[in-house]
Chain A
Amino acid sequence: MGQITLEKVTKSFGDVEVIPPLDLTIQDGEFTVFVGPSGCGKSTLLRLIAGLEDISGGTISIDGQDATSIPPAKRGLAMVFQSYALYPHMSVRKNIAFPMRMAGLPKDEQDRRIAQAAEALNLTDYLDRRPGQLSGGQRQRVAIGRAIVREPSAFLFDEPLSNLDAALRVGMRLEISELHKRLATTMIYVTHDQVEAMTMADRIVVLRAGHIEQVGSPLELYRSPRNTFVAGFIGSPRMNFIEGAAAQALGAHTIGIRPEHIDVAAQDAPWQGTVGVAEHLGSDTFFHVHGTGLAETLTVRAPGEVSFRHGDRIGLAPRTQEFHRFDAEGLRIA
């Protein structure tokens, strides 16, 4: 169980309205990612669901039951914080045991769950250490362990991987995804990294300034972004936006084309430009092309072996069926 419904939820700090009225339903067992630029209210929304902040208006229900005035501990949710928030003076075992101790679980049940969580998270050898003696990734796993043993109806993660280095982040990303497959529990995951959002989510909620811009599966957002904000936010590198005559020819104010949908063509290509920076990733190469007369820079993704250098002339052929069209308000034209 773990269906969470927000109805007309608002949040203000003083006179500043951080979350304008917002409706959202998160289905049981779903992996939902809140994504958006810094300061858009992702953490605030998560803390409202957790009960760590009081909502200014609206209702939150969990499994159909109004949870608006239920204290955080009674909501049956577990949270993993960005700073891990481990208790520094307790051993790993005691940290993991803490929520069960508070719930008054019998000792042998506690030990059983600790052993199980430690096994699943590769923590068995570290149970008697203090958090200060662990690496960042291990601390992260302890924090997750402490959340698992409560057997919550939903997990809340607030940018849990942002303190880890790139390699570890990829590893932990997989571990969390596997955990979700295994437990099949509702998870809400906050990040500002769209790659994390795309790779982990069943459903992505894109936020801007407290507004939900779009909700959908990763591929839905990728294929049919509802507006230019979502189009620019989802996908890496960013979508190219072209205004002016080229857009009007297609009956739009702005057209967008993703870098992977532009081919490098040697001769008689529809677009011509000069290569600025070429980023070689091995598998792919990203060219930043200037002087096309369409936009200041066009980003193009080409196979790794294609070699143009700074200052070379380059011909580009967009795949016309992949154009996204937007009106003057930035909304998608179907």
Chain B
Amino acid sequence: MATRHSRSAARLMMAPAVILLLGWMLVPLTMTLWFSFRKYLPMRGGDLGGVGFDNYVRFVTSSAFWPSVQATLVIVGGVLAITVTFGVLLALLLDQPIWGQGIVRILVIAPFFVMPTVSALVWKNMFMDPVNGLLAHLWGFFGAEPVQWLSQAPLASIILIVAWQWLPFATLILLTAIQSLDSEQLEAAEMDGAPPLSRFGHIVLPHLGRAITVVVLIQTIFLLSIFAEIFVTTQGSFGTRTLTYLIYQRVLESQNVGLGSAGGIYAVILANIVAIFLMRIVGKNLDA
């Protein structure tokens, strides 16, 4: 199809995009790598020269490191569990012919369009506020002591907020997957004597396997770097300091760019490990 001439023309036309993308990724990455090997304290003397792997050692040996990894994993795992479970249930529900289906679908998708900062603020001030929040009123209505959400159950609160944002995404992908299921398969299973729950377990769920893996993969990559929801709610206190948030604190609050950069490189490595791991699962699923 392609002559030599059209190939070189294609290269020429792709070049701007490729150069832009490379610059976009490579420049910050190289700078981070560079700073991670230097002692760089902007307000306290600036660049004080190379220190080898000192920053890397200090980042992992600090007492905040392992708790932050743990918080990251708890949040990612919690959000994934909630979004996948409820995503499947919602998708099953939305697949039924119900009255006002179009409007219901738009309503379900809506949270995805709300910016993370905004949704976190809305949750914090309108729902979870122990004095004025809707949840406090609800608790009060039943005569219960209002929960101090963000200090008493900080991780759960953040998981709730983030899961609310990502639920539409999971629902949407799972809904399209459910709609692609051949209805004759379900009818065949019905004739074969499978009750509704078995039909779900033996036919629907395996059919959704691939879509669930895709949801898990994409969400994990985004969830590893959530920031705004923590920034506007707990500011990393009460054990909600994730790896991303720790890096932010090292760079901006402690003004230690070298240490933060080393943390950034760790985060890159962690994300890549997860990505490779998940790619394998998806790859296996796609082959099958």
Partner of B192, one of A52, A73, A83: A73
Q: Smallest Cβ distance from A136 to chain B, in angstroms?
A: 16
Q: Please give, as numbers and ranges, the residues of chain A lying within 8 Å of B288 by CB-CB distance.
A: 89, 130
Given A52-B187, A81-B184, A85-B184, A103–B193 Cβ distance below 8 Å?
yes
Q: Smallest Cβ distance from A76 to chain B, in angstroms?
A: 10
In the complex, whether A87 has a CB less than 8 A from a CB of chain B is: yes
Q: Smallest Cβ distance from A67 to chain B, in angstroms?
A: 14
In the complex, whether B203 has a CB less than 8 A from a CB of chain A is: yes
How far is A89 from B188 in the complex, measured between Cα atoms in Å? 15
| Residue of A85, A99, A102 with highest tally of chain B CB at under 10 A | A85
In the complex, whether A72 has a CB less than 8 A from a CB of chain B is: yes
Q: Is the CB of B182 within 8 A of A72?
A: no
How far is A238 from B206 in the complex, measured between Cα atoms in Å? 48
Residues 21-61 of A, flagged 1 when their CB comes within 8 A of B and 0 if not, give: 00000000000000000000000000000111000000000
In the complex, what residue of chain B is closest to A80 when comparing beta carbons?
Answer: B188
How far is A55 from B189 in the complex, measured between Cα atoms in Å? 21
In the complex, whether A229 has a CB less than 8 A from a CB of chain B is: no
In the complex, what residue of chain A is closest to B209 when comparing beta carbons?
Answer: A89
Q: Smallest Cβ distance from A145 to chain B, in angstroms?
A: 12
A interface SS class = loop
In the complex, whether A98 has a CB less than 8 A from a CB of chain B is: yes
Q: Is the CB of B207 within 8 A of A89?
A: yes
Q: Please give, as numbers and ranges, the residues of chain B lying within 8 Å of A72 by CB-CB distance.
A: 187, 190-191
Q: Is the CB of A78 within 8 A of B203?
A: no
Partner of B202, one of A81, A85, A87, A146: A87
Given A52-B187, A83-B184, A99–B209 Cβ distance below 8 Å?
no
In the complex, whether A150 has a CB less than 8 A from a CB of chain B is: yes
Instruction: List residues 196-255 of chain B with CB under 8 A from any CB of chain A.
Output: 198, 202-203, 206-207, 209
In the complex, whether B185 has a CB less than 8 A from a CB of chain A is: yes
In the complex, whether A79 has a CB less than 8 A from a CB of chain B is: yes
Q: Please give, as numbers and ranges, the residues of chain B lying within 8 Å of A146 by CB-CB distance.
A: 188, 192
Instruction: List residues 238-277 of chain B with CB under 8 A from any CB of chain A.
Output: none
Q: Smallest Cβ distance from A79 to chain B, in angstroms?
A: 5
Q: Smallest Cβ distance from A83 to chain B, in angstroms?
A: 5
How far is A103 from B195 in the complex, measured between Cα atoms in Å? 11
Q: Is the CB of B185 within 8 A of A73?
A: no
Q: Smallest Cβ distance from A133 to chain B, in angstroms?
A: 11
In the complex, what residue of chain B is closest to A81 when comparing beta carbons?
Answer: B184
Q: Is the CB of B187 within 8 A of A87?
A: no
Given A98-B202, A102-B198, A81–B192 Cβ distance below 8 Å?
no
| Residue of A77, A83, A87, A130 with highest tally of chain B CB at under 10 A | A87
How far is A291 from B88 in the complex, measured between Cα atoms in Å? 68
Q: Is the CB of B185 within 8 A of A85?
A: yes
Instruction: List residues 164-198 of chain B with CB under 8 A from any CB of chain A.
Output: 182, 184-185, 187-194, 198
Q: Please give, as numbers and ranges, the residues of chain A lying within 8 Å of B193 by CB-CB distance.
A: 73, 99, 102-103
Given A87-B202, A87-B203, A89-B288, A98–B184 Cβ distance below 8 Å?
no
Q: Please give, as numbers and ranges, the residues of chain B lying within 8 Å of A99 by CB-CB distance.
A: 192-193
Q: Please give, as numbers and ranges, the residues of chain B lying within 8 Å of A52 by CB-CB distance.
A: 187, 190-191
Partner of A87, one of B185, B190, B191, B209: B185
How far is A198 from B189 in the complex, measured between Cα atoms in Å? 31
In the complex, what residue of chain A is closest to B199 when comparing beta carbons?
Answer: A102
Q: Smallest Cβ distance from A247 to chain B, in angstroms?
A: 47
Q: Is the CB of B190 within 8 A of A73?
A: yes
Q: Is the CB of B192 within 8 A of A98?
A: yes
Q: Is the CB of B209 within 8 A of A81?
A: no
Q: Smallest Cβ distance from A132 to chain B, in angstroms?
A: 9
In the complex, what residue of chain B is closest to A156 when comparing beta carbons?
Answer: B191
Residues 98-139 of A, flagged 1 when their CB comes within 8 A of B and 0 if not, give: 110011000000000000000000000000001000000000
Q: Smallest Cβ distance from A77 to chain B, in angstroms?
A: 7
Q: Is the CB of A73 within 8 A of B191?
A: yes
Q: Smallest Cβ distance from B213 to chain A, in angstroms?
A: 13
How far is A117 from B5 in the complex, measured between Cα atoms in Å? 60
How far is A98 from B191 in the complex, measured between Cα atoms in Å? 11
Given A102-B193, A102-B198, A103-B193, A85–B188 Cβ distance below 8 Å?
yes
Q: Smallest Cβ distance from A168 to chain B, in angstroms?
A: 21
Q: Please give, as numbers and ranges, the residues of chain A lying within 8 Å of B187 by CB-CB distance.
A: 52, 72, 79, 81, 85
Q: Smallest Cβ distance from A95 to chain B, in angstroms?
A: 10
In the complex, what residue of chain B is closest to A74 when comparing beta carbons?
Answer: B193
How far is A322 from B207 in the complex, measured between Cα atoms in Å? 58
Given A85-B182, A99-B193, A79–B198 Cβ distance below 8 Å?
no
How far is A83 from B188 in the complex, measured between Cα atoms in Å? 11
Q: Please give, as numbers and ranges, the residues of chain A lying within 8 Å of B190 by CB-CB distance.
A: 52, 71-73
How far is A146 from B193 in the complex, measured between Cα atoms in Å? 12
In the complex, what residue of chain B is closest to A73 when comparing beta carbons?
Answer: B193
How far is A271 from B192 in the complex, measured between Cα atoms in Å? 59
Question: What 8 pairs across the A-B complex have the smallest Cβ distances?
Answer: A99-B192, A85-B188, A73-B193, A85-B184, A102-B193, A89-B206, A81-B184, A85-B185
Given contacts A73-B191, A85-B182, A85-B185, 18 further A-B contacts (CB under 8 A): A72-B191, A79-B191, A81-B184, A81-B187, A82-B184, A83-B182, A85-B184, A87-B185, A87-B189, A88-B207, A89-B207, A99-B192, A99-B193, A102-B192, A102-B193, A103-B193, A130-B288, A146-B192
8 contacts between A and B (CB under 8 A): A50-B191, A83-B184, A85-B187, A87-B188, A87-B202, A89-B206, A102-B192, A146-B192
